[in-house]
Structure 1
């Protein structure tokens, strides 16, 4: 997933030094568009099938007690569900304040991207009729599950569980990619992969508690990265047009 060699040209370096909100090449957005389309096709298939989601969640469900034993686990609740989320949010707030104080507008934009990504996921989640695993009849609840894009059953339950809101907090750190690229591309991709691992770990903790399916968390990563790429591209393009 390396960028075009155009970013290594001296002319590009002078532009980057002159413009805090540097535009990324069209090649980057083309590759990310292809990646997002292909991953969306896979996620649609995964969500329509539901077999993987059910199989993974069944691993953490106790049919004898008809509950998820890890649901109220202190470590998963306090550390994974609260502390990690607060740390990511706090890091974004500190970056925003530092960017404003030092007038580093790229820092400000990246901090805003860290907030906007989960915000988009939250809006989608609040309007979703998909219920969480612990609400479904397969896991001791009363709600009926249905595949993505399927007709909503009358007893679909409380809903508001798709995509995974908690995991999106970890995935939001993927915005740090734009903070370091193209000055330090290796560090940029390290931040991207680290955020992907963090979001996956935070999301898997919720799977263990019965709060989400695996596909919920993967969709959260998809929406966060799509949002961040689109907004960064639009803002930097407008900034470039304004400078001309």
Structure 2
């Protein structure tokens, strides 16, 4: 299999197969409801952690800091990246920044400007995709439906989907909190670009973070489990698209490029062999 085919099999084919599995196993069955029903308090009929303020703060409000600060730092870094090339023309300005220990930071942002803008665009696109799907499917959260004490009827996303217009007021599919964790997948693609040896470990950590973000909302009754899976799939595909635009496939190939054999060594060996060979 060619590197191109392997790349698209792993990064596009597998997510699409997972999307089909999630659709068949969750959207066409009642597994989501079985999972959510198991999280109800039998005595009250409510989700056990729905009204827990400490759980809401610990798992929903505070964790948002991670993706929020990542995006904000990328924006700040991208703006700073334009300073050093202009400042370098003025020796006095260089001396001032060196004295203030700002020069290394400014040089770093200039060097990695493309990566900083990649994070910004990837975050923007994935957020836009998730918001589009929420508005154009109008799926209500479990606790908002009549199944769990709400007033709205439960529908699957494909029953309400409208390509061009908002489908209604529901805003629950895919999972928004889970998607905010999965947006950090942008960092994984940067790690792949630089062949970072711990890129796979970073990928695993980001997936765990996204799943934790999504699962905690399931425990509170604000999402079904499949909403988290769909969030991860859409964020991955959106981030992959942006990565291909910014870097191209060859820079994202996870396989390290083999080093070329030094021809001068081989030539030297031949010469030595020729020198020691007996005369014919």
Pairwise TM-score range, normalised by the shorter structure:
0.7 to 0.9
Q: CA RMSD in A?
A: 2.6
Does the alignment pair 1:95 with 2:74? yes
Count, aligned residues: 214
Shift of 1:158: 4.6
Shift of 1:63: 4.5
Query: 1:210 aligns to what?
Result: 221
Query: 2:142 aligns to what?
Result: 133
Shift of 1:237: 4.3
The 1:157–1:210 alpha-carbon spacing in structure 2 relative to 1, beyond 3 Å, is farther
Does the alignment pair 1:81 with 2:60? yes
Matches within 5 A, 1:114-153: 114-150=123-159
Q: Partners of 1:40 and 1:51 in 2: how far apart?
A: 17
Query: 1:68 aligns to what?
Result: 47
Q: Of the candidates 191, 196, 200, which is equivalent to residue 207 of structure 2?
A: 196
Shift of 1:110: 2.4
Does the alignment pair 1:42 with 2:21? yes
Shift of 1:194: 0.9
Query: 1:187 aligns to what?
Result: 198
Normalized against structure 1, the TM-score is what? 0.78
DSSP 3-state at the match of 1:149: helix
Q: Partners of 1:237 and 1:157 in 2: how far apart?
A: 38
Q: Partners of 2:215 and 2:127 in 1: how far apart?
A: 17
Shift of 1:151: 6.2
Query: 1:12 aligns to what?
Result: none
Contact 1:168 1:221 in 2 (8 A): yes
Q: Partners of 1:49 and 1:63 in 2: how far apart?
A: 27
Q: After the TM superposition, which of the residue ranges 117-126 and 166-175 deviates more from structure 2?
A: 117-126
Query: 1:169 aligns to what?
Result: 180
Contact 1:173 1:191 in 2 (8 A): no
Where do 5+ consecutive residues of structure 1 fail to align?
5-24
1:130-175 superposed Cα distances (whole Å, 9 cap, x missing partner): 11110122212232223342368xxx99521111011100011111
Shift of 1:68: 1.8
Normalized against structure 2, the TM-score is what? 0.68
Q: Partners of 2:124 and 2:160 in 1: how far apart?
A: 32
Contact 2:141 2:222 in 1 (8 A): yes
